[in-house]
Amino acid sequence: MDHVISGVAKFQREVFPGQKAAFKKLANGQNPEVLFITCSDSRIDPNLVTQTGPGDLFICRNAGNVVPPHSNETGGMTASIEFAVAALGVTHIIICGHSDCGAMKGAINTEALSSLPHVKEWLGHCRVATEVVKEKCGCDKLNAEDHLQLVTEENVVQQLQHIKTHPAVAAKLATGQVKLHGWFYNIETAEVTCYQEETGKFGPMDEKYAVELVSKHK
């Protein structure tokens, strides 16, 4: 904890003075372009990975980067998505999974979650991903690492489907005011791959693809 407290002092002493004008502007409101939904895993830093700063991303985090399908039962994710899209007017939504995801390990092996009943129930939102991979690939034919990556990627795809059920998102999608993106981040290599609807697979986010993606979704 000491390094966290000393970090605050360092920020106030060394970082803030050089960015005072930017923070003064942010103090009066926010105007993020992107809603970034990712896992709560401590190894994931959306601003670091995307090289963005305060005010650029509206970030929502939870175990497994889950987006529950819309229902009349209000929850933190539902309210945050509605606020980001309907009030802040974000134009892009990124759902980002990652390598070595503990939530996805739990979704694959729910028996191991008997002492974590709330986690087990929450990861029920990921069951479609595990079932799809099982049907398409057969778990007995996959090694553990490949199985985990396929489930993690499929979970991103399924959460993209879930977010389309949220009224604010559906309305903006219908008028082309919001675009959806699915990412997979490899912690060890820093590689980010993105879901390509044309192929139904995740592909590299090289410069050429990034330019095409941005121009297509402007």
Average pLDDT over residues 75-83: 96
Residue 213 has pLDDT above 70, yes or no: no
Query: Is residue 124 a part of any domain in this protein?
Result: yes
Q: Do the annotations mark residue 194 as ligand-binding?
A: no
Rounded Cα distance between 74 and 35, Å, is 19
**Looking at residue 185, what is its pLDDT?**
98
User: Read out DSSP for 138-206?
Assistant: -GGGS-HHHHHHHHHHHHHHHHHHHHTTSHHHHHHHHTT--EEEEEEE-TTT--EEEEETTTTEEEE--
| Domain of 122, in residue numbers | 31-216
CATH number at residue 155: 3.40.1050.10
Q: What global pTM score does this model have?
A: 0.92
Q: Do the annotations mark residue 139 as ligand-binding?
A: no
Q: Do the annotations mark residue 3 as ligand-binding?
A: no
Average pLDDT over residues 167-189: 97
Token pair, residue 132, equals: 């799809």
pLDDT classification of 216: cutoffs 50, 70, 90? low
Q: What is the pLDDT of residues 27-51, one digit of tens each?
A: 999 999 999 999 999 999 999 999 9
Query: Is residue 193 a part of any domain in this protein?
Result: yes
Sheet bearing 92-98, strands edge to edge: 57-62, 34-39, 92-98, 179-185, 192-196, 201-204
Rounded Cα distance between 155 and 133, Å, is 10
Query: Is residue 187 a part of any domain in this protein?
Result: yes
pLDDT classification of 218: cutoffs 50, 70, 90? low
Looking at the structure of the chain, the number of domains it has is 1
Q: What is the pLDDT of residues 45-71, one digit of tens each?
A: 999 999 999 999 999 999 999 999 999
Rounded Cα distance between 54 and 30, Å, is 9
Residue 108 has pLDDT above 90, yes or no: yes
**Looking at residue 73, what is its pLDDT?**
86
Q: What is the pLDDT of residues 160-174, one digit of tens each?
A: 999 999 999 999 999
